[in-house]
Amino acid sequence: MLKRVVITGIGGICGLGTNVPAIWEAMRAGRSAIGPIEQFPMHDLKVKIGCEIKVMPDHGIDRKQTVSMDRFSLLATIAAREAMRQSGLSTHADNIYRMGAIVGIGVSGFETVEENYRAILIEGKNRAGIFTVPKVMPGAAAGQVSMNLGLRGPVFGVTSACSSSNHAIASAVDQIRLGRADVMVTGGTEAPLVWGVLKGWEALRVLAADTCRPFSADRQGLVLGEGAGMAVLESYDHAMARGATILAEIAGAGISADASDIVAPTIEGPEAAMRFCLADAGFNPEDVDYLNAHGTGTKANDQIETTAIKRVFGQHSRALSVSSTKSMHAHCLGASGGLEMIACVMAISEGLVPPTANYREADPDCDLDVTPNVARERKVRTAISNSFAFGGTNAVLAFKAV
């Protein structure tokens, strides 16, 4: 029998706040943090809105470590430390090889890449920064988290664009189910608010000019944000043996691929991932109370996701509470699933469905209960979280109360 895997700590940082209580308070209020980008040079960009962290917290991480970090690794480490504090765990000689870290990342260390390109190609400097390579590598965040927390078990990065968080969390669940670890720190991180990344997204013509309005008929596209969402996972037996407070259980995961187009999504891929997730969790469609949608705010994504949800949940799709928290924290790419995991865990904990903010006009092609603008009290026993990405990589997680 597979081991049960539970969450005993969560941590987060994004434009909504620098810790989970602040993030959840903003989500409850339906408060969007999307606005003009002020902290980063935008140069000649046409679209200059995003969801940035306005003031970094006093994180207490030693400068000897931070000098070797790109921003995406710093955000992951801040969130991981918060999750670890809540879990009440500490490392010692007997457990460090039974604790690991898996962190999802979508676009890696572009802050460092851009700094070095500009220094060499524009300013005429003749060498790159000494920590450039270890800063930009996709596995850097997992390595930095492990070093900061002293974790010597399975440690690696996962990258699958906007599904990276959910793939990372599913991989961490597997490490525990397979007996390779008792505890895993996992989630996702991203710091994409740099000129080069935004210039690339601008070329795709999918960025909104004002804000993110998922499922609203007048939606214009997605908005990019930065952040990290992390969780401490344990086997149920390990958590119970030490008397830990369990926040939720990860009941299952579903993973699929479209195998169709590098950017255009299909209905069948997301549908399959949701079906696989329900099967892995042992859920019937009517067992699910809340669905945190991928909900990017593009015309194609929202319509396709709506159709996939209706195929999977049938008549129950009318009773299902759905929302896209990207309307508040924006699309944080590889970090999105980590932040949306926080929304699901807190929805279960507090019996409250966070809203889809900025919603103005019903779309007949997106005719689900998308919890427009105002949070709704509802007993949430189970929740699922969708992540669908460029490359056709789909990952869905299921959570339940314990």
Catalytic residue set: 162, 294, 331
Question: Using CA atoms, how far apart are residues 345 and 154, in angstroms rounded to an integer?
Answer: 24
Q: Are 108 and 121 in contact (CB under 8 A)?
A: no
Question: Using CA atoms, how far apart are residues 382 and 259, in angstroms rounded to an integer?
Answer: 30
Q: Which own/partner contact pairs does 132-138 have at CB distance under 8 Å and 24+ positions apart? A: 134/68, 135/68, 135/69, 135/70, 135/73, 135/109, 136/70, 136/108, 136/109, 136/110, 136/112, 137/108, 137/109, 138/105, 138/108
The encoded tokens of residue 251 equal 């009941």
For helices 20-29 and 336-350, give the axis angle rounded to 10 degrees.
70
Q: Are 392 and 271 in contact (CB under 8 A)?
A: no
Question: Using CA atoms, how far apart are residues 146 and 197, in angstroms rounded to an integer?
Answer: 27
* DSSP strand pairing (290-292 vs 382-389): parallel
